Amino acid sequence: MFPPKLITNPVIWELGRKYPVITNVRQASVTDEIGIVCLELSGKRPDLKAAIQWLEKQGIKVEPVEIGVIES
């Protein structure tokens, strides 16, 4: 979930530039108050952890979901 101050920033693009991870937007809903994105990340575990930590430092709430939940 993106806070209002980050909704217009290219956060997902920045994430892909900073870390060797592949991003895939599965679903998104954006309003003036909040942005909710279901983002699939692929890559090596240390890179994924670093990418998630970076997102959290930006003020983005990250809720990991198991891949099996998305595919079913």
pTM to 2 decimal places: 0.81
Note whether residue 47 is domain-resident. Answer: no
Location of structure tokens 């920045």: 14
Note whether residue 70 is domain-resident. Answer: no
Domain interval for residue 21: 4-41+52-63
Note whether residue 36 is domain-resident. Answer: yes
What digits encode the pLDDT tens for the residues 15-61? 999 999 999 999 999 888 888 999 999 999 999 999 999 999 999 99
37/30 Cα distance (integer angstroms): 8
Note whether residue 71 is domain-resident. Answer: no
Position 3 confidence tier, pLDDT thresholds 50, 70, 90:
confident
Number of domains in the chain: 1
The confidence score (pLDDT) of residue 33 equals 85
